[in-house]
Structure 1
Amino acid sequence: MSETSFYTRAAFYWANVPATIDGILGGFGHISDIDIDGSKAFLREIFRFKNPPGRQLALDCGAGIGRISKNLLIPLFDKVDLVEQDEKFVDAAKKFIGENNRHLGTVYNIGLQHFKPQKMYDVIWCQWVLGHLNDYDLISFLERCNDALIRDGVIIIKENITTTNEVDYDEEDSSITRPYELMKQIIDEARLQILKTDIQLGFPDDIYPVYTFALAPIEPSDIEIV
């Protein structure tokens, strides 16, 4: 499949998904609370680091209707920016969060493969969206996020991971699910290091395992000179 077709088919799929929690979670809206609770626990661990990220500005990537922004990030950060390519979801997110909510920052209506951060962030949150980027664009996106981190800032990835060593392609929504080793390789190529990883508990057995990664830039002293 061509790169253009890969992204076009995904955009078409999401254009026809209702702007509801059940819609954006593919019929699994009932797991939303479990997911948010797991993410809260993970962030609590991150904030216990010796040099934790700040709480001034977060970025929600592939924000959908703002489920994660409203329920996870806005209670913890002074401002939260959103990136979402589907205009219908952008409008729904503003309503769901509240356009007058003082914690709502800038909402960018653009796909992640084209998004270039204009600000510096304490936390960049990417959940259930990176499967819509091919490997090349994912590495480039993570590199741009790397450059957009404030000192001690982190990138959080929460994504489905295959139980095999193979990539799974979903023709319905034009997305890929990667194995753990490929995710690690992509993270390495983006010159990021894994500070912490965890597996979400409490999800149904018939869905992919969901891993959460906390990433930070590789400091010069950590880079092996060949």
Structure 2
Amino acid sequence: MYCKLDTDPLTAEEDSPHFSKDVNNCKHEALEAEHEAPSSNESKNEKVVPEFYNKAQKYWSAVPATVNGMLGGLGYISAIDIQGSRIFLRELKVPGKKLALDCGAGIGRVSRNLLIPIFETVDLVEQDAAFAEKAREICTSESVCRNSLGEVYNMGLQEFSPTHKYDLIWSQWVLGHLTDPDLVAFFRRMRLSLQPGAYLCIKENVSTSKEVIKDDEDSSITRPLESYERILREAGFRIVRKVRQQNFPKGLFPVYMIACKSQPLGGN
């Protein structure tokens, strides 16, 4: 499951033919305001979080299992996206090449074009059943030189707990579908699932303000870059590389790639 490649309401041009004007109606709201009920009424808070996930699942169930569907109508940027990620990984010099994990894999676009050419085996996590089935098809087609597709986990990241140790965990355009507490918990589970010296890499839209931007249409939020950095540190990671994706169309949210390693015990 992917977060939509949305326009930034602070920078989008209304006359651009590629971007929906509806995005400009997004409001800046803190994630805590959406999910944090008063302590005197915890039962209401328990109902909010499932609705946040249920709305997202319903939205993506209506999206076509195509590259254009995964990228919110901007399928033409897929090659630029993959090239930017490929350069990022090349410069990172990932030590192991046996097993990688693609989180929020969608139809397997990133697995097929970025990870499978590098790693012996790639596992996928994807909540939508139709997307997961398409990913199996794409990642086992005749054009794939090696039988690199491993496990396909059909569940949300808020529920996923790895049973393997990975040389790389890649998560792209999906973390906006997790609440802050679930994101911290997800990162902590991923940290325990890395081989020694391995990397967790995330690639996400970030807001250009210091506010969280909420998208009611697909039930997601766009966090500031500083929020991801803070949450990663809270989960026990240290950031070793941070790069902005280049050559995307004007008006979109900035997209950053962040590579992390597990913070040693006692590290600052």
Q: Please indicate the TM-score interval, normalised by the length of the shorter structure.
A: over 0.9
1:78 to 104, 120, 125: 120
CA distance in 1, matches of 2:219, 2:72: 13
Secondary structure of the corresponding residue to residue 212 of structure 1: strand
1:68 to 110, 127, 138: 110
1:184 to 229, 234, 250: 229
Give the % identical residues. 50
Which residue does the alignment assign to 2:64? 18
TM-score (norm 1): 0.95
CA distance in 1, matches of 2:234, 2:124: 25
Alignment root-mean-square deviation, CA: 1.1
TM-score (norm 2): 0.80
Which 5+ residue runs of structure 2 have no aligned equivalent? Answer: 1-33, 35-47
CA distance in 1, matches of 2:234, 2:95: 23
Matched ranges for 1:17-166 at <5 A: 17-47=63-93, 52-98=94-140, 102-166=147-211
Which 5+ residue runs of structure 1 have no aligned equivalent? Answer: none
Secondary structure of the corresponding residue to residue 230 of structure 2: helix
Secondary structure of the corresponding residue to residue 247 of structure 2: coil
- The aligned amino acid for 1:90 is A
Which residue does the alignment assign to 2:22? none
Deviation of residue 53 (structure 1)?
A: 2.6
- The aligned amino acid for 2:131 is F
Deviation of residue 97 (structure 1)?
A: 1.3
Secondary structure of the corresponding residue to residue 198 of structure 1: strand
Q: Which consecutive aligned stretches of 4+ in structure 1 deviate over 3 angstroms post-superposition?
A: none
Deviation of residue 58 (structure 1)?
A: 0.2
Deviation of residue 185 (structure 1)?
A: 1.1
Deviation of residue 184 (structure 1)?
A: 1.1
Aligned residues: 219
2:218 to 162, 173, 186: 173
Question: Which has the bigger relative contact order, CA under 8 A and spacing at least 6?
Answer: 2
The structure number with the bigger radius of gyration is: 2
Retained in 2: the 8 A contact 1:53–1:151?
no
CA distance in 2, matches of 1:165, 1:140: 23
- The aligned amino acid for 2:123 is D
CA distance in 1, matches of 2:115, 2:123: 10
Per-residue CA distance 1:47-69 (angstroms, 9 max, x = gap): 1xxxx430110000000000000
- The aligned amino acid for 1:110 is M
Retained in 2: the 8 A contact 1:79–1:104?
yes
